Amino acid sequence: MSEPMRVQFWGAVGTVTGSRTIVEVDDRRVLVDCGLFQGYKQLRLRNRAPFPVPPSSIDAVVLTHAHLDHTGYLPALVRDGFHGPVFCTPGTAELLGLLLPDSGYLLEEEARFAQRKNYSKHEKPTPLYTVADAERALESLVPRPFDTEIDLSAGHGRADLTARFVAAGHILGAAQARLTHLGRTVHFSGDLGRDDDALMRAPTALEPAELVIAESTYGDRLHPDANPEDELGEVVARVTKRGGVVIIPAFAVGRAQALLLHLARLRRRGAIGAVPIFLNSPMAVDATALYRAHPEEHRIDERDYAEMYELATMVSSVDDSKLLNLRGGPMIIISASGMLTGGRVLHHIAAYGDDPRNAILLTGYQAPGTRGGTLAAGADELRIFGRDMPIRAEVVQLQSMSAHADADGIMRWLAPATTAGSRIVLNHGEPGSADALRLRIERELGATAIVAEQGQQFDV
């Protein structure tokens, strides 16, 4: 019998960020996702720790999707010696062209800020990586379409280790990844989308695999039955009627497009008035164009696009962004970042957050430790630009707009794994979510699931 595949977890363990899993077969080593740790400071500090294996010893990287918690460490990996191919879908490659340089820019900003504030008195603070590192990492990307076989053995003279992407329905380009060696397969769910998403098509059904690695972000929660469009419309109508500003922090990729789509439809059916809508995220505008180029992955048609582009005023310059802070309500501002970790949205919150007529509308998962997580937990002040700012605006969290499958969704997707007798390992979830899902799998599917631990190894 040949050697097994050894699957080892080095991130997204007990948390939803820093996805990094190493798959080894004899002398070959593949990294599945290369994520940044985000959120609590102790998590972010892990980005500074040496990578668990020397980057130069990794033969190839496979990326499930473009979100930084799955890709944001790649520029550091390449700079530190990784020189193999990075396989991903075309949509992921295109989005990374926007996301990685932006990430490098934000990290450089953060280092400059730390230096100005003299946080670090003895050493010059250095960014985790720079825009130039990110640009270099992009050169390693090797786009491969969904549902085709990818040879991961190049350079080793054997063609017995392959990968295949299947649609995950989470954001543009998002994939589940199957790694197969001599007829045995380990299947990564990646971030799993929803069956009923307004934007993306449903995830592809799970095929038999010896080992299934499932995300568990919402493992302990169900999305409310409420229609996200109605919920969004209700808040927008209420706040704008009283002259307020609705600030919607949104990821530039996925969430911004879903919001524009819902708002366009709400306006079409007269559910919200003709209040001005501003999309203050140049990256979101670029990402919307990328979605338009891949109609096979989502449910937006040309009529929707036309209305989405007409609906909002696109804000690109910093000056125009600042002018929005003087304009006053009623209006809607969609701006990044989605969890308030940085970006232009912070300026809008600093300008409008202390007025109870206004509202901050959280539409996605808010990781604990981020400002978004703090707001979602009910805080009445936020630390922004080194100051504690009072938050008197209404804070609303729309659970119904998540781009992740909820616990029922994951269970439905996982069901075929039990008939196939797969082993199930859970990652990418806070401890409570992962364990709740483990229990449901045991009770409802009669199968055993293991919640992955840091450094834990599974042989396939």
- Tell me the two tokens of residue 264: 């366009």
State the minimum distance, in angstroms, from the CB of residue 53 to Zn ion.
24
The answer to whether 67 contacts Zn ion (rule: CB under 5 A) is yes
Q: What is the DSSP string of 190-239?
A: -S---TT-SSBPPPPPPPP-SEEEEE-TTTT----SS-HHHHHHHHHHHH
Count of residues that interact with Zn ion, criterion CB under 5 A? 2
Q: How far is the CB of 325 from Zn ion (least distance, A)?
A: 30
Single out the segment in contact with Zn ion by CB under 5 A; choices: 65-73, 125-133, 206-214, 325-333.
Answer: 65-73
Residue with smaller CB distance to Zn ion, 170 or 181: 170
CB of 73: closest distance to Zn ion in angstroms?
15
Which one of the spans 81-89, 190-198, 224-232, 434-442 is the region binding Zn ion (CB under 5 A)? Answer: 190-198
348 scored as a contact of Zn ion (CB under 5 A): no
Instruction: Concatenate the DSSP letters of all residues of 245-280 into one string.
Output: EEEEE--TTTHHHHHHHHHHHHHHTTSS----EEEE
Identify which of residues 367 and 436 has a Cβ nearer to Zn ion in the complex. Answer: 367
Q: Are strands 21-25 and 28-32 parallel, antiparallel or unpaired?
A: antiparallel
Shortest distance in whole angstroms from residue 380 CB to Zn ion = 30
Minimum CB–partner distance for residue 420 and Zn ion (Å): 26
Span from 184-192, 268-276, 316-324, 410-418 in contact with Zn ion (CB under 5 A): 184-192
**Minimal distance, residue 67 CB to Zn ion, in Å:** 4
Candidates 1-9, 43-51, 188-196, 240-248 — which segment interacts with Zn ion by CB under 5 A?
188-196
Binding status of residue 267 toward Zn ion by CB under 5 A: no
Q: Of the two residues 321 and 402, which places its CB atom closer to Zn ion in the complex?
A: 402
Helices 90-116, 131-138: axis angle to 10 degrees equals 170
- Find the shortest distance in angstroms from Cβ 428 to Zn ion: 9
Angle at 171 between CA 168 and CA 174, to 5 degrees: 40
Choose between 67 and 438: whose C-beta lies nearer to Zn ion.
67
Nearer to Zn ion, 191 or 197 (CB): 191
Least distance to Zn ion, CB of residue 309, Å: 25
On whether the CB atoms of residues 350 and 385 are closer than 8 A, the answer is yes
Round to whole Å and give the CA distance between 346 and 341: 8
CB nearer Zn ion, residue 104 or residue 173 = 173
Q: Which is nearer to Zn ion, 297 or 394 (CB)?
A: 297
Stretch that binds Zn ion, among 31-39, 61-69, 153-161, 428-436 (CB under 5 A): 61-69
Answer for which of 33, 59, 94, 191 binds Zn ion (CB under 5 A) is 191
Residue number with CB closer to Zn ion (70 or 423): 70
Give the Cα separation of 53 and 29 in Å (integer): 10
Assess contact for 190 and 65: CB atoms under 8 A.
yes
Give the three-class secondary structure for 444: helix
- Distance, CA of 243 to CA of 95 (rounded, Å): 36
Question: What is d(CA 208, CA 422) in angstroms, rounded to the nearest whole number?
Answer: 7
Strands (DSSP E) found in 102-183:
141-143, 150-151, 161-167, 175-181
Least distance from Zn ion to the Cβ atom of residue 68, Å? 9
> Whole-angstrom Cα distance, residue 296 to residue 301?
10
Question: Which is closer to Zn ion, CB of 66 or CB of 324?
Answer: 66
DSSP string, 275-327: --EEEE-HHHHHHHHHHHT-GGGB---HHHHHHHHHHSEE--SHHHHHHHHHH
Binding site for Zn ion (CB under 5 A): 67, 191
